[in-house]
Amino acid sequence: MTDWKTQTWFGHDIDAGQHRNTELEISESYSGRNIAIPLRVVRGVEPGPTVFVTGALHGDELNGTGAIRSFLADPEWGPVRGNVLMIPVLNVLGFERHSRYLPDRRDLNRCFPGNASGSMATRMAKVIFDEIVAKCDFGIDLHTAAVRRTNYPNVRCDFKNDECLRLATAFGAGVILDGRGPKGSFRREATAAGCPTIVVEGGEVWKVEPSVVDCMTRGIVNVLQELEMIDGEPEVPENQVKLKQTKWVRAERGGFMDMHVSPGTTVVKGQPLATNSSLVQEDQNRLEAPFDGIVIGMTTLPAVQPGEPVIHLGKLSSPKTVRRVEKQTQADEVQRTAQEHLSTNVQVVEPMD
């Protein structure tokens, strides 16, 4: 779009500096009504990049929705330069059912870039791709952990893509994970199509958690500052940790888990993570850290069977790095608060000798 003064977005002519709520029609319901994604087009006065910010691509993951809505509460909020598409709920059909999935049980986040003559999910993906991704220069996609799990706030992106890494670093969650994302995922296909996109993970489903929202809102502002769309310098924690390898530590026995760590805890190799016992505290089996690391996710359901995921650990290079990350987390108020708040969901007990 070369003309900055007036652009057509979703069928409306929108002037530079104007903010407009509108919607994108993506499907039709069983009763033949239009199904549309509500969104706000926020246009800066001056030219600049166009960025999408999406929540609830998994329809039950609402922290991003909360973060986006906190910007939308201020009708004046917007960039000086460039456009922002604020989309609180991308997967409206999943959202209507409090579900990660679409009504046809497909995961929309595996259906990109979509197919105009394919399944319901791939058709929706195609509309989203054509109408949003193709018209944007960058993307931020906000997620939470899946049901029965929680995530310590982190950003995920392809380290090999300089622009993705630039956005991820500017976001400033403190923890950045390497990876392109699964085939068909929004961020992977958007990035491949020339719209560098990062994923942000934090907290759990069906909630708007204040400390996760704080991390997300800071990060969105940081990215827009990095892109010079709004004035000011990004407020980024020093020495953010970049993780190239992660591992789910899984239960070896069935039973009830006593946790020794919580989201954001740093551990050294061999450190107890959780102890599993029968309901009357017999048959103990201890899970230990397979390497130096940081807890980036964990189960919220303490009853487990063998093989079920318990602790998602990001690998750190040495005990020295563990101490550095620990210090860095404590020095950054947003990270420290997230760690404190998310930890209130978990009863952490000392391991017994």
Convert residues 234-253 into a mask of x (bound to Zn ion by CB under 5 A) and - (unbound): --------------------
Does 187 sit near Zn ion (CB under 5 A)?
no
Does 312 sit near Zn ion (CB under 5 A)?
no
Q: Among 61, 64, 330, 306, which residue's Cα sits nearest to residue 204?
A: 61
Enumerate residues 6+ apart whose C-beta is below 8 A from 104: 119, 120, 121
Dihedral sign, CA of 310, 313, 318, 319?
negative
Please identify, using beta-carbon distances, which residue of 143 and 188 lies nearer to Zn ion: 143
Interface stretch with Zn ion, choices 142-150, 271-279, 291-299, 333-341 (CB under 5 A): 142-150
Please identify, using beta-carbon distances, which residue of 58 and 149 lies nearer to Zn ion: 58
Place of tokens 């960025």: 51
For residue 277 the two structure tokens come to: 């016992």
3-state class (DSSP) for residue 264 = coil
Site size toward Zn ion, by CB under 5 A: 3
Least gap, CB of 91 to Zn ion (angstroms): 9
Least gap, CB of 145 to Zn ion (angstroms): 8
DSSP H or E segment with residue 211 = helix 210-226
From 40, 43, 81, 143, residue interacting with Zn ion (rule: CB under 5 A): 143
Place of tokens 């563990």: 322
Neighbours of 222 (CB within 10 A): 22
Please identify, using beta-carbon distances, which residue of 145 and 261 lies nearer to Zn ion: 145
* Contact assessment for residue 159 and residue 244, using Cβ atoms and an 8 Å cutoff: yes
Place of tokens 């604020």: 86
* Contact assessment for residue 329 and residue 336, using Cβ atoms and an 8 Å cutoff: yes
Of residues 43-62, those binding Zn ion (CB under 5 A): 58, 61
Please identify, using beta-carbon distances, which residue of 156 and 260 lies nearer to Zn ion: 156
Of residues 61-90, those binding Zn ion (CB under 5 A): 61
Does 149 sit near Zn ion (CB under 5 A)?
no
Interacting residues with Zn ion (CB under 5 A): 58, 61, 143
